[in-house]
Amino acid sequence: MNSAQLLRHRKGLLIVANHDRNICERRGRLELSKRWPDGSRFRRPFPNVTAARTMRSRIEAAIAEGTWRELKDKLALTPNTQPASTSSKDLTLREYAPIYLAEMRRKNRRADFHEIQIRNILPVLGEIALKDIRRPDALRYRALRSDGRVAATVNRGVAVLRGMLSQAIEDELIPGPNPLFGFEDYPETERELKIPTIEEERAMVTVLLNIDLAVGVYAGFMGETAIRTEEALRLKWSSMDVGAGIATVPAEVSKTKQARHIPMSPFCKELLERLPRVTAHPQVFVRTTTLKPVKDTRGAFSKARERTRLDIYPETFRHFRITKWMSDGVDPVIVQTLAGHTDIRTTRRYAHFAPSFAAKQILKVQADESVSLRQLLFAFEVGVGPKRDQSVVELERLFALEPGK
């Protein structure tokens, strides 16, 4: 923040110009101070003016949409007490967490997943300054999280911790290199990607609907549209045209930053019609029991897997639909567009999980070849007139046959 941006200096407080209201530099630390409609105050340090403006815009938008209570709860990762550090470069991991999550939302990097992992990290490492975090701290966190959890779950938490340090280096809050670069994860047993049959997919949706209506509709919706899990959770009713049967993934929600328009099947429409709209939230998938948007589906899916004995996860529904499109003979370019793949090679991988698609293509080619061969043999048997064309001559040459024999 340079002198041109500052309006006045008073009692050690640098206040930013009018267009940067609520943003100030206090005791060498840039802060955003904003009141919620209930009178409570949101105050948090930020590494730069841009990050503070982004957070202020989110708060103001949530207040305008009436969703500020949800945002307030989401941002309540830090205590209401003032941070003990005297400089933005001395932030603790707990103080930096909201800044990191805001950046993940801006980059559309599955902020819901990062938020879940950060909630596990903060009780162990939250009070350590960013600049003081070292490999032994990651080892301690991993050891405490390992009890009764699979390796993949523990590794994801370490990956988020590593990502937070990388982002802090990018924000120039700590010097590089990242102390967790090269940190070896626990060996993981690779989970085989098994594409369920339509009967298995429908069975899972049915059980989920009985466990949690919003999660069941969410799963079935992905199974019909192939939308990514994090994209689906952020969808709003304003993007759903149920009457016309079109689901739109807006550019700000899409992982590729490009809007997609996906046709909805009758089954998909029936699912959405079962889900009541909650006026307090614009999101599609809102739990009727809590009147809050769905954020974490792990509990419902865990119960459904126990009841069905099916190894199906949220991302399985997207894989199921893409594979179904491929096996039904939909042009891979169309599938690429609907699925939001940036590379057609990603789309073509699903032919591996749709053997019937490959078989259909091979059988079609073979059928065409067999028709041509029958025509050639007929022409060869007749041996005279226009039927004896260059193809017959070529056939004779290939099989070393002499005319008339």
Residues forming a β-bridge with 34: 42
**How is residue 11 written in tokens?**
């009692």
361's CB contacts (< 8 A; 6+ apart) are: none
For residue 187, the model assigns a pLDDT of 85
220 touches 205 (CB < 8 A): yes
Residue range 136-168, pLDDT digits in tens: 999 999 999 888 788 888 888 999 999 999 999
Residue range 183-229, pLDDT digits in tens: 888 887 766 667 888 999 999 999 999 999 999 999 999 999 999 99
Torsion of CA 229, 233, 235, 241, to 10 degrees: 70
* 253: confidence class by pLDDT, cuts 50, 70, 90: confident
3-class secondary-structure state, position 160: helix
Taking the complete model, does pTM exceed 0.75, yes or no?
Answer: no
- Other CB atoms within a 10 A radius of the CB of residue 231 amount to 21
Query: What is the DSSP secondary structure assignment for residue 241, as one 8-state letter?
Result: E
Rounded-to-integer distance, Cα 294 and Cα 233, Å: 7
For residue 5, the model assigns a pLDDT of 40
Mean pLDDT over the full length of the chain: 80
Rounded-to-integer distance, Cα 140 and Cα 279, Å: 44
Cα-based distances in Å from 111 to 136, 248, 293, 326 = 26, 21, 14, 30
Rounded-to-integer distance, Cα 90 and Cα 380, Å: 88
Q: What is the DSSP string of 11-72?
A: TTEEEE-GGGTTEEEETTEEEEEEE-TTS-EEEEE-SSHHHHHHHHHHHHHHHHHT-HHHHH
Rounded-to-integer distance, Cα 345 and Cα 347, Å: 5
**How is residue 91 written in tokens?**
């932030």
Task: Tell me the domains of the chain and their CATH numbers.
Answer: 1-76 (no CATH), 95-100+109-190 (1.10.150.130), 198-317 (1.10.443.10), 356-398 (no CATH)
Going along 242-285, which residue ranges are E strands? 246-249, 260-263
Minimal CA–CA distance to 212: which of 317, 283, 270, 287? 287
3-class secondary-structure state, position 383: coil
For residue 160, the model assigns a pLDDT of 92
* 6: confidence class by pLDDT, cuts 50, 70, 90: very low
Q: Which long-range contacts (CB under 8 A, 24 or more apart) does 327-331 make?
A: 327/354, 327/356, 327/357, 328/357, 329/357, 329/360
For the chain, state the CA radius of gyration: 29
Rounded-to-integer distance, Cα 44 and Cα 78, Å: 9
Residue range 24-65, pLDDT digits in tens: 876 567 788 888 888 888 888 887 777 888 888 888 888 888
Which range among 68-72, 256-260, 359-363 has the greatest average pLDDT? 256-260
Rounded-to-integer distance, Cα 375 and Cα 404, Å: 18
Rounded-to-integer distance, Cα 6 and Cα 26, Å: 13
Minimal CA–CA distance to 113: which of 103, 123, 104, 126? 104
